[in-house]
Copies of this chain bind each other. A is one copy, B any other.
Amino acid sequence: MGPGPSDVPSRVLQAMARPTLGHLDPQFAGMMDDLKGLLRYAFMTANPMTFPVSGPGSAGMESCFVNLVEPGDTVVVCRNGVFGGRMKENVERCGATAVMVDSPWGEPVDPAAVASALEQHPQASLVAFIHAETSTGVESDAAEIARIARDHDCLTLMDAVTSVAGIPVLIDDWQIDAVYSGSQKCLSCTPGLSPVSFSERAIERVKNRRTPVQSWFLDLNLVLGYWSSEGGRSYHHTAPVNALYALHEALVILHEEGLEAAWRRHRTMHEALRAGLEAMGLELPVAPAHRLPQLNAVRVPDGVNEAEVRRRLLEDYSIEIGAGLGEFAGRVWRIGLMGASARPRNVLQCLGALDTILSDLGAAVNTGVAVAAAREALATPAAA
């Protein structure tokens, strides 16, 4: 119940343990095609260029930047937490200039500030932002940011690591040009893969580059020779075969449940957790309209040693929750309700354990009421 990896269902773990086929085996190639189709569903896109990068989310992020950015380019980067800072690093290491649009930690990206940055930097070619900031638990308005970028003739690059399958991610509706995600958050797969998707406009830009992509491993022109179904697969690198079995199974599970049902389940579990936390008297620093159901920032009560609480949760209850990062370090916990972790048992056990530990540490909280409040909320599921 940290910021990911989330609980991995045994179906996914067992899929991962199937015998390793060769990465050019015809049966495996069939599974790759299935996998691409399932990813298009998860991203709500028809983009043919939708596939998993053979590395974690930060490799997916780098895959998007090194392919779409060239030396001398200007990129507008929105930062409202840790991961916008990582985007800045990526832009600069591509030899480009990052124009930063900063919003306070715990708040969403301000679309007006994005528009203003684009007016001041008409040469910008790309707008990059985090849909669901894992470091703060905040959702930004992806549709609006993408609209503004289009109005200024920019492509849009979106981090959907924590959002996919937890809240609506509508790549085609929103006209996002490049997106990367992670396997280990709301998809409830093992960590290590980063699903990505590129629009036709993005592919066009990659094909018309003036300079080679600085990464051989991540060069889309080469990777697609392996992941494309057309014209036979050519060897680029050895795919992580067993990890792909696992991702396939995780996506089959998502498809069985249905995206809308998964979004609703995350919302319902969040409301139950929130009810319990608030009954205890704990505060959620993010405004309700921008809260991510799958990643809950919770203010640490005054006088409580936050690391001690996390240690006891882990050692005594086998429950992992996340520490604060950056400006939130020492001030918030991050409780994840992602994928298979977003279920009543996790919500109730976590609240019960927190209740006991905080009482034991003498924190000024209402004890003995959190679990009942969550149970009541669970009895009235959230709307779609």
Contacts and interface: CB of A to CB of B under 8 A. Distances in A.
Interface of A: 2, 4-5, 7-8, 13-14, 16-20, 22-23, 25-26, 54-59, 61-62, 86, 89-90, 92-94, 182, 184, 190-192, 212-217, 235-243, 246, 314, 320, 325
Contacts of A5: 20, 22-23, 238, 241
Nearest to A55: B55
A339 B237 CA distance: 20
Given A58-B217, A192-B243, 16 more contacts: A5-B20, A13-B19, A13-B242, A20-B190, A25-B320, A54-B55, A56-B239, A56-B240, A58-B216, A61-B217, A86-B216, A190-B242, A191-B240, A191-B241, A192-B192, A215-B215
A59 to B, nearest CB: 5
Q: How many copies does the complex hold?
A: 2
Given A215-B215, A242-B192, A320 B93 contact: no
A22 B7 CA distance: 10
Tell me the dominant secondary structure on chain A's binding face.
loop
Contacts of A14: 17
B17 A214 contact: no
A192 B16 contact: no
A332 to B, nearest CB: 16
Given A16-B16, A16-B17, A17-B13, A62 B215 contact: yes
Contacts of A16: 13, 16-17, 242
Contacts of A13: 16-20, 242
Nearest to A237: B58
A175 to B, nearest CB: 27
Contacts of A216: 58, 62, 86, 89-90, 93
A213 B93 contact: yes
